Amino acid sequence: MKKFKRIAITLLAAAGLSVGALSSAYAGDKPAIKIGYVQSWPSSVITTTLAATVIKQRLGNSVDMVASAAGPMWEAVASGHTDAMLTAWLPTTHKFYYQKVWNKVILMGPNVMGTKLGIAVPKYVPVNTIAGLEKYAAKFNDRIVGVGAGAGINMNTKKAIKAYGLKSFHLQTSSTAAMTAQLQRAIKNKQWIAVTAWTPMWMWAKFDIKFLKDPKHIYGTGGYIQNVVNPELYHKSEQVFWFFNRFEIPRQQLSALMLEVKNGTPVKVAVEKWIKAHPKLVNSWVS
């Protein structure tokens, strides 16, 4: 499948310019690469910093990390204002964004497999389904605590409120940091709270929480985080283009990195340490 995918991507990307022309145009040249990311999402910051560090160290290109919200991040790649992003939650969470720009971007392959999204509560809360929230609306202060405006999981949560008849509930938008801070305070005081949640995420290692069952699959049944590029990246840097086809990290290792950063290690320090500890995997990205 990987071989087939690479052949297909090559045909798509090379449609506008011959490989010979590419080689002569960029021989000895190392253009700067722009990667979009969402600054308030720990997984986005870490994977983007990891990719940027390896591109700079091993491929010799300078890299600019461009922070934005999820929607503008997709639009920037589609328009060519940025070259790539590593934060496309598919096939469900970012479906809306992808459908708007599908003919202007290339999906290069997943960098993390086995993602999951939904609504989570502390394990001491005797509710196990999303529909079951309505009965105890007052205990949850009539709210589900979400993340930043424009996040795909927020859009899914609005759909879930309607689909499961949560007439007493509203979605409270905040940020990842604010949401996890509220979760921590609630658990400390044995209070009831419902939050938007996803994996990979460090809070699963820190808090005793559980996903609520979602039989209508409003949040999907599992997925992956995809590498997405603008087609012109192939013309700009063929090496970097193929790097994004190979770049992937096991979910458990990404979760461990996120927890290390949450515990106080600077992102760049944690990333450099991880790179040194995993030379075989890093070599596979740039081979």
Residue 109 shares a structural domain with residue 122: no
pLDDT at 194 (0 to 100): 98
Residue 168 shares a structural domain with residue 180: yes
- Confirm whether 258 is domain-assigned: yes
Residue 102 shares a structural domain with residue 228: yes
Q: How many folded domains does the chain comprise?
A: 2
- Confirm whether 245 is domain-assigned: yes
Q: What is the pLDDT of residues 28-68, one digit of tens each?
A: 579 999 999 999 889 999 999 999 999 999 999 999 999 99
Q: What is the pLDDT of residues 173-208, one digit of tens each?
A: 999 889 999 999 999 999 999 999 999 998 898 899
- Confirm whether 239 is domain-assigned: yes
Express as a percent the part of the chain with pLDDT over 90: 80
- Confirm whether 155 is domain-assigned: yes
Residue 160 shares a structural domain with residue 257: no
- pLDDT > 80? residue 23: no
Residue 235 shares a structural domain with residue 109: yes
Residue 20 shares a structural domain with residue 93: yes
Residue 67 shares a structural domain with residue 156: no
pTM: 0.78
Q: Could you tell me whether strands 84-90 and 209-211 are parallel, antiparallel, or unpaired per DSSP bridges? A: unpaired
With contact defined as beta carbons under 8 Å apart, do 148 and 40 qualify?
Answer: yes
Residue 158 shares a structural domain with residue 183: yes
* 67 vs 18, higher pLDDT: 67
Residue 93 shares a structural domain with residue 186: no
| pLDDT mean across residues, the chain | 91
Residue 251 shares a structural domain with residue 199: no
Q: What is the pLDDT of residues 59-103, one digit of tens each?
A: 999 999 999 999 999 999 999 999 999 999 999 889 999 999 999
Residue 11 shares a structural domain with residue 107: yes
Residue 17 shares a structural domain with residue 105: yes
- Confirm whether 216 is domain-assigned: no
CATH number of the domain to which 88 belongs: 3.40.190.10
pLDDT at 235 (0 to 100): 96
- Confirm whether 219 is domain-assigned: no
Residue-range definition of the domain harbouring residue 68: 2-114+224-286
